[in-house]
Structure 1
């Protein structure tokens, strides 16, 4: 079984740090929350994944050890890492419009999930490419006027669609409207199923 203390030791060694407080700062978790997780031996997977992506560290380096079963179940480089009784599949997620891949602990049947990296906003968007048309209000990855964006598409039910930029609290929302008869000018590449912030 993978132990939280093992993960902490590995990252401390990588970062050349000694204290749990420094470890908590590095993976962006409050020291009190880390103490509670250590008491429960509960690994903060989201924080570890973000740390690895931000620092270009292989997840295998953190999660793989002699107590973890690594099973090459397919020919497409998907592997399963078993932590206790829970399975976290490591799947290769292709970056849209590139030949590069990210390896993430996300189940990716039929390779329908792809990644879009927003370098300006420091986000990785996981895109479900099975949805390639407007279904309901939500975040979509679209191609419009030869550029690719993540946008919130809203049907105004008055003959137009409102297209809003994805934004955090610190970035103002930009938006425009497009008439229903011109919506075909927007190519929907997929819907956003998950957002990984690298901030």
Structure 2
């Protein structure tokens, strides 16, 4: 009995983690943050900063990284609280406004990773987080959810190609109806 409850609790925890991971990875990172990160990474000024960061003390980099990370995470938590309290618009604006800071923080991590990994506790936390992500990604729930999302994505793509492609009969009928309506209103 206790084993069954434990198994269900772990399965529920996995499901919640998988859903959270997929939302952040697929929607937020792939759809919004990654393009911003690429834009930030390509900025000339950041390339100059990257060269200067090579001479900065690892402790200073750690402090800057941790402060930025805390700001980004606090903004995300507060945005979530605003969503839950019904202030969706303000929460959305806050969440969207934190994305460039998050992209910059990710960039900072990537260019100073060797220096940050000099701190044993930081490396341990990073390794632990990576193992947790691998655990989530290797779970059956994650794999089945991704398969389902791929199927849904393909269905949307097929729907889009069928009804919204260049010379779709559906679109042509809508355009024809619009033109007829526009001409009749002019008379």
TM-score for the superposition, normalised by structure 1: 0.24
More helix by share: 2
Structure with the bigger percentage of strand: 1
Higher-Rg structure is 2
Structure with the greater relative contact order (CA < 8 A, sep ≥ 6): 1 or 2?
Answer: 2
